[in-house]
Amino acid sequence: ITSPVAFDILPLKLHPFSQSTPTGLDCVGWKRRISVPVIADGALDKTALTDDVGSEEDLYEDFRSSNHRYGHPGGGGEQLAINELISDGSVVYAEALWDHVTMDDQELGFKAGDVIEVMDATNKEWWWGRILDSEGWFPASFVRLRVNQDEPMEDYPLKVEGGREDDSRRFGMGQNTKDQMRTNVINEIISTERDYIKHLKDICEGYIKQCRKRADMFTEEQLKTIFGNIEDIYRCQKKFVKALEKKFNKDHPHLSEVGSCFLEYQTEFQIYSEYCNNHPNACMELSRLTKVNKYVYFFEACRLLQKMIDISLDGFLLTPVQKICKYPLQLAELLKYTNPQHRDFKDVEAALNAMKNVARLINERKRRLENIDKIAQWQSSIEDWEGEDVLVRSSELIYSGELAKISHPQAKSQQRMFFLFDHQLVCCKKDLLRRDILYYKSRINMDDMEILDVEDGKDKDFNISVKNAFKLHCRDTEEVHLFCAKKPEQKQRWLKAFENERRQVQLDQETGFSITEVQKKQAMLNASKQHHAGKPKAVTRPYYDFLMRQKHPTLPTTLPQQQVFMLAEPKRKPSNFWQNISRLTPFRK
């Protein structure tokens, strides 16, 4: 199951008729009373939760048995309204936010963007729906109700050859109808932003503030892992919703010009990258903590005291990931009902592209951060490493392969493995017999180099004939490095790789991409732990498969063949045969 920006999101999956609580916990097993006070600002007494009859378990049961019932997306008032519409004979449509892949015959599979007819929404976790001739259960959290339920199904979306909407049909509807539909989309954007702000506030004040009061249960490092930079997101979104409200035309919502707000905040939305990258770590830390009952009761008490909806903490923390995915969908729908003559049209069009770029940037940063662990593992596999770690300056492996390096003054040729990272080229030597072991030899700073294509023939600098060659020339020291590939196509791939390296460096500078010192140190620490755990020091498989495609290690021709076999032959235990024979003195002549 993947979201539109390719994050792996696996919401809690309950069967429609399961007896689990909304938080996925079995209340029957809650027999042991653990006292975990939650300190609320204001009227709640500090000892209110720790007396003989007032544990978190009792608090939880009291809240559940009382009249404190809170709404739920797809539940509560909205859920009743959906069922009333269905029972009145109205057709209710929902749009898929993510792919739902299933092997169960009773479940309805669909892709992001598909439109589903909702036929039964009595269960708040799972709804019954239909797409064409297929019917089945699907998770309510995977869809959102269409803003314009009165829009004909055949117009949603209307496609023609080439994948673009039919403009003649798109703009053929009455202007009043189109204005009303744009009003609906604008209202949805404003209302969902306000709901989202309330949601972020509840997390920051209902959970984080309470956790910080319990230093005996949570360290600052744990809180950073669980909640990431959600407080920064909260501050950013408060400013964003104020900007939206300033552009909102209350008397004529369809005239609202909100596209410029998204363009203004597109750079600030990049803070979601850090949150999305940290989210898997948050899930793992929460999974570890909730194996201990006192944390389960504590988190549930936080939720109830803040009067939050019936979702567990990991569900709340998924919302920012879902939100940044939803912006392109909302803007695409807004653009659909915005006439080209509308003053907001160009800004909405640009905002849609901008938010798609934000999503792509978040994906790219996630991939880069995953790569730093692999780079750290690769470095730990290299024998005789010298100097600073690769991650000090680099975060991306651009290209790698085998080249002949020709050095002054004797113009000596040496076969070496080269690894081109952003900012540097690392040179390694392959082990004579074990092709998966590399020895560090040197590195070249690419920021000081220019690439020179060399024609086949005699090179004047080195006074030798070369083929498939190129040079790296240092602008400051006039130092020259000559390299030769085995085939012309290999040379072209290297020249292209050097272009990509410079492009990557420039892009990182423009987008402000960087890896924190903490992330670098953690990656190297993890790699070091894996090495000391007893794993053989060799190139890891992902890099090995890509980098080591040579059939056999190259053996120098000056080495006698007999000696080669001796080197390759495994060592044997010395034999005592001749020693035993020498002891048989009676048989000596």
The pLDDT assigned to 121 comes to 86
More confident residue, 360 or 536: 360
pLDDT bucket at 511, cuts 50 / 70 / 90? confident
Task: Read off the pLDDT of residues 216-253 as tens digits, 9 standing for 90 and up.
Answer: 999 999 999 999 999 999 999 999 999 999 999 999 99
CATH of 396-512, one of 3.40.1190.10, 3.40.50.300, 2.40.50.140, 2.30.29.30: 2.30.29.30
Q: Where are the beta strands (DSSP E) in 351-411?
A: 397-407
- Nearest Cα residue to 293 out of 29, 65, 38, 59: 29
> What pairs with residue 453 in β-bridges?
470
**Average pLDDT over every residue of 563-581:** 40
The pLDDT assigned to 529 comes to 79
Find the range with the poorest average confidence among 73-77, 193-197, 455-459.
73-77
Rounded to an integer, what distance in angstroms lies between the CA atom of residue 210 and that of residue 191? 28
Q: Hey, what CATH topology would domain 76-145 get? A: SH3 type barrels. (2.30.30)
pLDDT bucket at 198, cuts 50 / 70 / 90? very high
Task: Read off the pLDDT of residues 344-358 as tens digits, 9 standing for 90 and up.
Answer: 999 999 999 999 988
Spell out a b/e string for 458-474, using b for 16 or more CB atoms within 10 Å of the CB, else e.
ebeebeeebebbbbbbe
More confident residue, 193 or 171: 193
**Average pLDDT over every residue of 138-158:** 63
pLDDT bucket at 101, cuts 50 / 70 / 90? confident
Per-residue pLDDT at 215 exceeds 70: yes
What backbone phi and psi angles, to 5 degrees, belong to 247?
-90, -5
Rounded to an integer, what distance in angstroms lies between the CA atom of residue 223 and that of residue 220? 5
Provide the residue ranges of all domains of the chain, joining segments of one domain with +: 76-145, 178-371, 396-512
Task: Read off the pLDDT of residues 47-92 as tens digits, 9 standing for 90 and up.
Answer: 333 343 344 444 444 444 443 333 334 344 556 677 777 777 788 8
The pLDDT assigned to 175 comes to 59
* Alpha-carbon distances, residue 94 vs 154, 323, 374 (angstroms): 14, 17, 41
Rounded to an integer, what distance in angstroms lies between the CA atom of residue 207 and that of residue 271? 21
Enter the CATH code of domain 178-371.
Answer: 1.20.900.10
| The domains spanning 76-145 and 396-512 adopt the same CATH topology | no
Q: What is the pTM of this model?
A: 0.55
Crossing angle for the helix pair 313-336 and 175-202, to the nearest 10 degrees: 160
* Residue 451 token pair: 């690439």
